[in-house]
Structure 1
Amino acid sequence: MRVKRIMIVALAAAACCLALVACKSGGKESTAVQQGAQGKPPLRIAYSDWPGWVAWEVGIQKGFFKEAGVNVQFLWFEYAPSMDAFVAGKVDAVAMSNGDTLVNGANGKKGVMILVNDYSNGNDMIVARPGIDSIKALKGKKVALEIGLLEHLMLETALKQNGMKISDVKLINTPTHQTAQTLASGDVDAIAAWQPNSGQALKAVNGAKAIYTSADAPGLIYDTLVVDPQSLADRKEDWQKVVKVWYRIYDYIKDPAHEKEVLDIMSARVNVPPAEYATYMKGTRFLSLAEAKEVFKKGDSLKSLYGSSKNADAFNVANKVYSKPQNVDEYIDPSFTMNVQ
């Protein structure tokens, strides 16, 4: 159920002004929690519509932050405005992908990833018309996607895994929310999109098939909690508590006894039927504490947040999202996750 994860963040003052007001989703206003930690202002955390981030709602509604003694305020945004709010200093942290964290930093607002919620595990798809059953069959064909965004990176990865180059296909720059209708029009041979758009494309064309998904490249897209460095320095103990609460949330949502309650809470946040939301959960690979600790170890492969971020950085530079490579080490602090027992 991915909202638009924009690789190029507009930093214009007008956009920042729009970010001052959290957007509505499904008829619900921003969710705010202000509990515990007497005398301290709340840690302001912007979150948006992706299962790995909607899961924070479970901790909010179950009172986990109050029990942990940390004062937090979760603000519900659309994804792009959440990043704008972080850039404008209106929130202390934001739920953001690792690639977009680099984009923000390259444009002047660095944040530090202290928590990895999940990686996309099937919700992002390359959907092809009938008769195209593999990535190799895309050679010389038209593919609709938003150039420079994460689906562009996924297509490039898929082609590389099949011994092909991006020049082997013709890219048709298309807004993600229009990809399903573009495939249905017959003007292109395939599209790259995330849920619910990818699912809509499958429904729009009889016989259409997902020939590649993010499950074929685990770790290509990590979803994280990104914190302002000053807030991190000033409130280190409180941020440590937030990270610890996340793993309590993880344990709760992975308990089969809580499945119905969790789906009810999360689907209500985004106004989607629980049964439908369950399919989005399957396309999201939530990471256990042990798995997250492995992801935070340095490495060059997609199994490491460092390797994945270096891969995203190379893509961003090659596609002129920004001009100079970033030092990914400056964007990652594994200590908060490593300190959770």
Structure 2
Amino acid sequence: MQIRLSRLLRPVLLASVLVCSAIPLQSPAFAKEQVRIAGLTWPGYGWWQIAKAKNLAPDLDITYQTIEDPFQSFSLMTSGQLEIVSSTAEFAPIGASQNMPVRMFAYGNLSHGIDKIIVRPEIKNAAELKGKKVAVMVGGLPQIMMGIYLEKNGLPFDSVNYVNVIMDQATAAMIGGTVAAAELWEPFSSQTLSAIPGARTVASTADPEWASTGLIADGHFINSNWVKEKRPVALKAIKAMYDAIAWWKKNPKEGNQIIADGLKMSVADVELVLGKDGSGLDAGLYPYTFLQAAQACGVAPGDPPFGQKNGQLFKHYKLTNEWWVKFGVVKALYPPDKAIDCSLLKDLYDSGYRG
């Protein structure tokens, strides 16, 4: 779901984080509360850049570390070195399986056209994929999307050979014919379709059947131990993120520039993902507003967009947990309270906040 050159689970070298101390210029009683956040180089997590740039939480010291391997981020959260991680939503059952103090508190963004399943021209129907190699991000939502697509078309999910490659390699493999199909995100999907005459899209997250499940989605995760100790601070941080989304919707041009500067990306790349008009509908990634995220959590009345239902986040969790059991990523189905905490959005909603 990305320009995700950097949203891939590929080997990376994590730079050391130097924690510098200085003589305080103010009394510790007035020091800002620290909120350490990590995520990928991904425009869909750029709200934290806006929150910081626009000082939407004046009494918080919000920092955002770019860490390209989500498992590294969740490891740091487990050891108490991070408070919030923005990542893809399929990690929730994995965290539950390992008893991590990690809880998904909200849907973040919905892939609405960014992700596609593309087949080579010689593949005339899904049945012809049997026994073939398909490129996906193994252990990620793209693998689940491919598995669902196969089953919807009468093939067992394990009737293909899943090849774990990063996106530029997946595009090369499609062009070279070493894989028959791939789950690709922008800009790689467009590049593949342009480079291979006759290649075609057989599934897109913009299709109503995929959008209604909310399958390919970002999530926001919080350190449950930190919440127990600093719940008011956690609520302020979450509110700042949703205030940033609301601000971006009214100021998309400036907001995209802030995100580009903060994540060291080009504005064009940010616009390719988030769009230019603030609607969330003119590109391929749709950011949930506070109210929509609260509806997805089942703590506010009404249904989220795209045909999703109230409490959709829990349906998503059940779906991903079931698929990870199929793929052998986790061993069992885990209760939602080991993975999800919607009480934070409920507190904000009950306080009268609407984003």
Distance 1:102 1:65, change over 3 A: same
Partner in structure 1 of residue 36 of structure 2? 44
- Give the gaps of 5 or more residues in structure 2: 19-25, 275-282
* Paired amino acid for 1:62: K
Partner in structure 1 of residue 21 of structure 2? none
Deviation at 1:206, TM superposition (A): 3.5
Asked if 1 retains the 8 angstrom alpha-carbon contact of 2:111 and 2:205, the reply is: yes
User: In proportion to residue count, which structure has more helix?
Assistant: 1
TM-score (norm 1): 0.81
Query: Whole-Å Cα distance in 1 between the matches of residues 91 and 173 of structure 2?
Result: 26
Query: Whole-Å Cα distance in 2 between the matches of residues 37 and 247 of structure 1?
Result: 27
* Paired amino acid for 1:329: D
- Matched residue SS, 1:238: helix
Asked if 1 retains the 8 angstrom alpha-carbon contact of 2:118 and 2:203, the reply is: yes
* Paired amino acid for 1:283: G
Q: How does 1:127-138 map to 2 (within 5 A)?
A: 127-130=118-121, 132=123, 135=126, 138=129
Deviation at 1:330, TM superposition (A): 2.6
Deviates more, 1:57-66 or 1:309-318: 57-66
Q: How does 1:140-289 map to 2 (within 5 A)?
A: 141-167=132-158, 169-177=159-167, 178-216=169-207, 217-218=210-211, 219-255=214-250, 258-281=251-274, 282-289=283-290
TM superposition outliers: structure 1 runs of 4+ over 6 Å: none
Asked if 1 retains the 8 angstrom alpha-carbon contact of 2:78 and 2:102, the reply is: no
Does 2:321 align with 1:313? yes
Does 2:104 align with 1:113? yes
Query: Whole-Å Cα distance in 1 between the matches of residues 163 and 247 of structure 2?
Result: 41
* Paired amino acid for 1:315: W
Query: Whole-Å Cα distance in 2 between the matches of residues 268 and 131 of structure 1?
Result: 43
Partner in structure 1 of residue 335 of structure 2? 327
Deviation at 1:134, TM superposition (A): 6.2
Deviation at 1:140, TM superposition (A): 6.0
* Paired amino acid for 1:240: L
TM-score (norm 2): 0.78
Asked if 2 retains the 8 angstrom alpha-carbon contact of 1:46 and 1:76, the reply is: yes
* Paired amino acid for 1:52: G
Distance 1:293 1:19, change over 3 A: same
- Give the gaps of 5 or more residues in structure 1: 24-34
Deviation at 1:83, TM superposition (A): 2.8
Query: Whole-Å Cα distance in 1 between the matches of residues 77 and 334 of structure 2?
Result: 19
Deviates more, 1:182-191 or 1:202-211: 202-211
Partner in structure 2 of residue 32 of structure 1? none
Asked if 2 retains the 8 angstrom alpha-carbon contact of 1:5 and 1:149, the reply is: no
Asked if 2 retains the 8 angstrom alpha-carbon contact of 1:92 and 1:228, the reply is: yes
Which string of whole-angstrom CA distances, capped at 9 and with x for unpartnered residues, describes residues 114-172 of structure 1?
232212222222122235576566456542224333211011122333444324x5224
Asked if 2 retains the 8 angstrom alpha-carbon contact of 1:221 and 1:308, the reply is: no
% identical equivalent positions: 24
